[in-house]
Structure 1
Amino acid sequence: MMDQLSWKVGGQQGEGIESTGEVFATTLNRLGYHLYGYRHFSSRIKGGHTNNKIRVSTSPVRAISDDLDILVAFDQETIDVNSRELRKGGIILADAKCKPSIEENEHITLYSVPFTEIATELGTSLMKNMVAIGATSAVLDLNPSLFKEVVIDTYGKKGEKVVENNMKAIEAGASFLKDELGFDRTDLFLNEADGHKRMFMIGNDAIALGALAGGSRFMAAYPITPASEIMEYLISKLPQFGGAVIQTEDEIAACTMAIGSNYAGARSFTASAGPGLSLMMEAIGLAGMTETPLVIIDTQRGGPSTGLPTKQEQSDLLAIVYGTHGEIPKVVIAPSTVQEAFYDTIEAFNIAEEFQCPVIILTDLQLSLGKQTVEPLDYSKIHIRRGKLMTDGVGNTEEKEYFKRYELTEEGVSERVLPGTKDAIFHVTGVEHDETGKPSESALNRKQQMEKRMRKLQNLSFKNAIHSVENFESPDVLLIGFISTRGAIEEAMNRLIEEGLSVNHVHIRLIHPFPNEEVFKEMQKAKKVIVVENNATAQLANLIKMNVGFSEKITSLLKYDGTPFLPSDIYSFVKEFK
């Protein structure tokens, strides 16, 4: 019996690979297992190899597994590309249609199952994915009936007959493996799960849900991988709460519409990836100059230009922190789990309104699109803070003076009003302005307004600016990362500790303003520091050197081939480095 299993399905894009993984994973999640899934897919709608690797465990997991137990292959290419991941004793369930073969390997067993033929006999070849799930159920000793609830949820709208045929396909796949091929192995059976109900979602869904729970009622966006799911989720949800989603003509329009909506008083945001953020930079500067709240989601992907739009990378970091022209106060938050993505999105709206500045949530493709088990969210933690927003008028009814929207204050934040507020007329302009918003090129005024804006973030308090795991007082190695590398780092760390190496871990969650003191405290204890990141120029490591120092201690572990870090990548590097 096993506490953990790795399963992958692969084929050509458009063959139902995603739905195969979805039905399999959702069923296991509902049984109480913990899951972590990652899809490899091409940047085209149909065609090209795609696969979905899903890790199933009786305990929480936050990383892709190093190896593979079961490979479900709909074509020969899937075997050629993915069989190297199979561990000793692993198996391949392959569609007989492709006359599957594998180079001589006595440690791997290939079972040829006529997925397509069985599905066609039952009515349509489209059900071959259900036949494959049935074959998998036989390997894991799962009763095919366990999949029925998910099949109903997935195909129920198409009618009872469709549900019935899909269940027959699952049963036929299981029967063929057992009866025709005589499959009788028991070593791949999973230990029983705890049966607890948990959510199963991608990071983008958590962000969208966080925006909704955080009071956002307007999103303007242009579709782009890997951010589009945020917009797709809210298109159906926001109208139920009096909100709306607008698909704009480009990212420039999306950002400026979000600024305008925030100015009017509605919590609003946009979401994009690196290319879209490049187009938004001027508008982000406008939000900073006009002191208008603005939340932006950047889901990083492979660049530059179109680059690798469906692959993992973390190369927008310095552009996000320093990309805008001129100098404005800005906050950049980097969640490392799906749960954090939910709560951090809510907090981003609070910070944006409290400090009247742009707040960027920085994720990456692995976190945004990787699907994982999530413990129930605690809605009692949600608190809406709107900062210095005046809603009852501002006085001065006799003097009829312009409202000092940009009044010089000690903390750098001025009173904000909604358009139409009584006795609150003021100018709004992207040029430098005085306290009432009127354009001004006075050197003294410029100095005062710049200093006023830059004072804002001195009072920023972000809970858990770093996530730290302090196993040792003076560790041999401190591993540092951000966003989706957390799971792989922690898994590698635990393995290294088991082998006698003292290792601590810091994951940076507040990128800007940088948590200098917190990071310094952890770095000074360590003999060596290894910064793990998905880019070619060590952007996070350079940010640390710039803000904290300790250049002599820092070594970078970089990966920029479009694939996420595996725990073994980090484990092997540290072992060789040590």
Structure 2
Amino acid sequence: MKKQLSWKVGGQQGEGIESTGEIFSIALNRMGYYLYGYRHFSSRIKGGHTNNKIRVSTSQVRSVSDELDVLVAFDQETIDVNFYELNQNGIVIADEKFQPTIPEGSSVTLYVVPFTKIAKDLGNALMKNMVAVGASSAILELNPESFREVVESIFGRKGESVVENNMEAIRQGAQYVQDQADDSMSTMQLEEADGKKRMYMIGNDAIALGFLAGGCRFMSAYPITPASEIMEYMIKKLPEFGGTVIQTEDEMAAATMAIGANYAGVRTITASAGPGLSLMMESIGLAGMTETPLVIVDTQRGGPSTGLPTKQEQSDLMAMIYGTHGEIPKVVMAPSTVQEAFHDAVEALNIADEYQCPVILLSDLQLSLGKQTVEPLNQRSISIRRGKIKESKALPVLEKGETFKRYETTEDGVSPRVLPGTKNGIFHVTGVEHNEVGKPSELSQNRQAQMDKRMRKLKHLPKTFNLPVYKDTPHELADVLLVGFNSTRGTIEETKQLLEKDGYKVNHAQIRLIHPFPTDEMLPLISSANKVLVIEHNATGQLASILRMNVGHAHKMASVLKYDGTPFKPGEMYKECKGLI
């Protein structure tokens, strides 16, 4: 029996590959298994090879597996493209329709199952994915009835006959595999799961849920991969809480509309990817100059330009910190797990309000779209902090011709803020440099005072931000420190275990606050390591450059880079790291 296995389904986009993976994984999640799923898909609606690789385990997993145990193929291309991943004793379950073949001399077992024929005989060729699920259940020695709850939740609204037809497709798929196998049938039976109920979600859903819990009531956005699921979630849920979503004509409109709504006092967010963030840069500068809260999600993908819209990359780092012209206070956060994504979404709203500045919640495609088992989210820990919003009773009475000092110079750099319509709170707003009451001013003394005030905002943020660095640092003096951000955490954790089996003392730091950089947190970790390996998905080592700028010790640092559009796997990361130690 296995503690974990890896299962993949592949075929052409638009023929039910995603739903096959969904039904298979949701059922196993409800049995109490931990799962991690990652989809490979093309940037088109229909056609082109797609696959969904799902890792199933009796313990927490946060990365794609190196190898593959079971491959479910709806076409020959799936076998040709993915066969190299299969373990020596792996299994291929393929549709009889395309007369599947595997390389001669291979120890892999091929089960040819008439997915399409069984489905057609039951009345609907679309049910071939359910036949495939049934065939998989036989290989894993799972009772086909284990899938009934999921089938009922998906098809129940269509009537009992539809539910029963789909269940029959699962049963016949399972029976066909059992009938063609003998007593020596190769199985992939898993150890029994703990049966506990856990969430199964993508990072984008966690981000959206965090915004909802944190008081967001308006979203303006333009659809873009891999951020669109945030908007789709909010479209469904925000109206239930008195909020709304507007799909704008472009990303520039989305950002400026978000600024306007935040100015009016409504907690508002927008979400995009690299190309959209490029268009938002001028608006981000406007939010910085007018000191208006603005929360933006950047789900990184392959660039530049249109680049690789559906592939993994982490190359927006420098752009998010330095992309705007001029200098403004800005916060860039980078959650590394689905749980952190939920809580950091709440915190992004709080920080934007408290510091009256743009906050960018940085994700990447693997974190945003990778679906995984999640322990219950701690909603009791949520607090909503609006910062220095003043009510009329707290304001001095204005004399005729006077205006409120909206941009008053303060010791902490954060000026008092009023919402439009507040009595005695009238003030000017402009994107040009201005004085304390918001009127344009080009006086050098005023310019320096306002710049200094704005830049003072972030001096204390690393100390007040909750866990700017995730640390797994058991060694006072380490042979190597592994550093990453966003979705690389799970793979780094497994790489750390592999290196420690070789006798190395390994520490791990996952940076969750990119800007302002948590130098005080990172410097002791880097100082106490003989070697620092910075792991990231880009070609130029952007995180490593930021580390060198903020903590020095350049002679200790080396980069482990991947930018081919696919996520790191533990085995390949281990080999790269070991070669550099």
TM-score (ref. length: structure 1): 0.99
Structure 1: stretches of 5+ with no match in the other structure? none
CA offset digits 1:463-508 (Å, max 9, x no partner): 1111111132211111110000000011011011112121111110
Provide the residue aligned with 1:479 in structure 2: 482
- Quote the Cα distance in structure 2 between the aligned partners of 1:575 and 1:353: 44
Provide the residue aligned with 2:580 in structure 1: 577
Provide the residue aligned with 1:320 in structure 2: 320
- Quote the Cα distance in structure 1 between the aligned partners of 2:268 and 2:579: 48
- Quote the Cα distance in structure 1 between the aligned partners of 2:577 and 2:226: 31
Provide the residue aligned with 2:425 in structure 1: 424
1:180 Cα deviation from its structure 2 partner? 3.1
1:174 Cα deviation from its structure 2 partner? 0.3
Q: Does residue 438 of structure 2 align to residue 437 of structure 1?
A: yes
Provide the residue aligned with 2:270 in structure 1: 270
Provide the residue aligned with 1:122 in structure 2: 122
Provide the residue aligned with 2:293 in structure 1: 293
Provide the residue aligned with 1:67 in structure 2: 67
Structure 2: stretches of 5+ with no match in the other structure? none
Provide the residue aligned with 1:81 in structure 2: 81
Provide the residue aligned with 1:144 in structure 2: 144
Provide the residue aligned with 1:366 in structure 2: 366
- Quote the Cα distance in structure 2 between the aligned partners of 1:49 and 1:469: 38
Provide the residue aligned with 1:531 in structure 2: 534
Structure 1 stretch 197-206 or stretch 385-394: which is displaced more?
A: 385-394
The 5 Å alignment of 1:72-471 reads 72-182=72-182, 184-185=184-185, 187-397=187-397, 399-400=399-400, 401-460=402-461, 461-471=464-474
Code of the aligned partner of 2:58: T
Structure 1 stretch 525-534 or stretch 98-107: which is displaced more?
A: 98-107
Percent identity, aligned pairs only, is: 68
Code of the aligned partner of 2:418: V
1:577 Cα deviation from its structure 2 partner? 2.2
Code of the aligned partner of 2:427: F
- Quote the Cα distance in structure 2 between the aligned partners of 1:155 and 1:178: 26
1:237 Cα deviation from its structure 2 partner? 0.3
- Quote the Cα distance in structure 1 between the aligned partners of 2:80 and 2:423: 70
Code of the aligned partner of 2:275: P
Indicate the SS of the match to 1:417.
coil
CA offset digits 1:378-413 (Å, max 9, x no partner): 111000000001123444336242000000101110
1:225 Cα deviation from its structure 2 partner? 0.1
Code of the aligned partner of 1:445: N
Code of the aligned partner of 1:569: E
Provide the residue aligned with 1:31 in structure 2: 31
- Quote the Cα distance in structure 2 between the aligned partners of 1:529 and 1:380: 37
Q: Using a 3 Å threshold, how does the CA distance of structure 1 residues 96 and 554 change in structure 2: closer, same or farther?
A: same
1:525 Cα deviation from its structure 2 partner? 0.8
- Quote the Cα distance in structure 1 between the aligned partners of 2:393 and 2:298: 36
In angstroms, what is the RMSD of aligned CA positions?
A: 1.0
1:172 Cα deviation from its structure 2 partner? 0.3
Provide the residue aligned with 2:514 in structure 1: 511
* Contact 1:394–1:424 under 8 Å retained in 2: no
* Contact 2:35–2:56 under 8 Å retained in 1: yes
1:272 Cα deviation from its structure 2 partner? 0.0
Q: Using a 3 Å threshold, how does the CA distance of structure 1 residues 395 and 188 change in structure 2: closer, same or farther?
A: closer
- Quote the Cα distance in structure 1 between the aligned partners of 2:106 and 2:80: 16
Q: Does residue 487 of structure 2 align to residue 488 of structure 1?
A: no
* Contact 1:393–1:424 under 8 Å retained in 2: no
- Quote the Cα distance in structure 1 between the aligned partners of 2:185 and 2:60: 26
CA offset digits 1:135-191 (Å, max 9, x no partner): 000011110011011011111222221111100000000000001344753651000
1:216 Cα deviation from its structure 2 partner? 0.2
- Quote the Cα distance in structure 2 between the aligned partners of 1:327 and 1:393: 34
* Contact 1:178–1:184 under 8 Å retained in 2: no
Q: Does residue 568 of structure 2 align to residue 565 of structure 1?
A: yes
- Quote the Cα distance in structure 2 between the aligned partners of 1:559 and 1:254: 32
CA offset digits 1:429-467 (Å, max 9, x no partner): 000000000001111100000000000111211111111
Provide the residue aligned with 1:546 in structure 2: 549
Provide the residue aligned with 1:13 in structure 2: 13
- Quote the Cα distance in structure 1 between the aligned partners of 2:398 and 2:269: 38
1:569 Cα deviation from its structure 2 partner? 1.5
* Contact 2:403–2:425 under 8 Å retained in 1: yes
- Quote the Cα distance in structure 2 between the aligned partners of 1:9 and 1:395: 63
Provide the residue aligned with 1:4 in structure 2: 4
Q: Using a 3 Å threshold, how does the CA distance of structure 1 residues 182 and 549 change in structure 2: closer, same or farther?
A: same
Q: Using a 3 Å threshold, how does the CA distance of structure 1 residues 398 and 298 change in structure 2: closer, same or farther?
A: closer
Indicate the SS of the match to 1:467.
strand
* Contact 1:291–1:357 under 8 Å retained in 2: yes
CA offset digits 1:344-391 (Å, max 9, x no partner): 000000000000000000000000000000000111100000000112
Code of the aligned partner of 1:322: Y
Q: Using a 3 Å threshold, how does the CA distance of structure 1 residues 186 and 192 change in structure 2: closer, same or farther?
A: farther
Code of the aligned partner of 2:447: R
Indicate the SS of the match to 1:295.
strand
Q: Using a 3 Å threshold, how does the CA distance of structure 1 residues 525 and 35 change in structure 2: closer, same or farther?
A: same
Q: Using a 3 Å threshold, how does the CA distance of structure 1 residues 187 and 167 change in structure 2: closer, same or farther?
A: closer
Indicate the SS of the match to 1:79.
helix
* Contact 2:62–2:491 under 8 Å retained in 1: yes
- Quote the Cα distance in structure 2 between the aligned partners of 1:352 and 1:136: 48
* Contact 1:94–1:112 under 8 Å retained in 2: yes
Code of the aligned partner of 2:135: A
- Quote the Cα distance in structure 1 between the aligned partners of 2:311 and 2:148: 33
- Quote the Cα distance in structure 1 between the aligned partners of 2:514 and 2:443: 34
Indicate the SS of the match to 2:72.
strand
Provide the residue aligned with 2:558 in structure 1: 555
Tell me the matched-pair count: 578
TM-score (ref. length: structure 2): 0.98
